[in-house]
Amino acid sequence: MFTIAFLTRRVDGMTAEEFFEHYRTTHYDLASRMPGLVSYQQAPIRHGAGGWTTPESFPDYDALSIYTFTSREAADAAFASPEGRLVDEDTGKFIDWPSVLSIAADVSQRFDGSLA
CB atoms within 10 A of CB 31: 21
Given this model, what pLDDT does residue 115 score? Answer: 56
With 0.75 as the threshold, say if the pTM is over it: yes
- pLDDT per residue as tens digits for the range 70-103: 999 999 999 999 999 999 999 999 999 999 999 9
pLDDT value at 111 more than 80:
no
pLDDT value at 58 more than 80:
no
Judged by average pLDDT, the poorest of 24-28, 52-56, 79-83 is 52-56
CB atoms within 10 A of CB 108: 6
Backbone φ and ψ of 51, nearest 5°? -75, 175
Given this model, what pLDDT does residue 8 score? Answer: 97
- Distance from C-alpha of 62 to C-alpha of 8, rounded to nearest angstrom: 6
Widest Cα–Cα separation across the chain: 42
Query: What structural domains and CATH numbers belong to the chain?
Result: 13-106 (3.30.70.100)
Q: Is 77 left (phi over 0), alpha (psi -120 to 50) or beta?
A: alpha
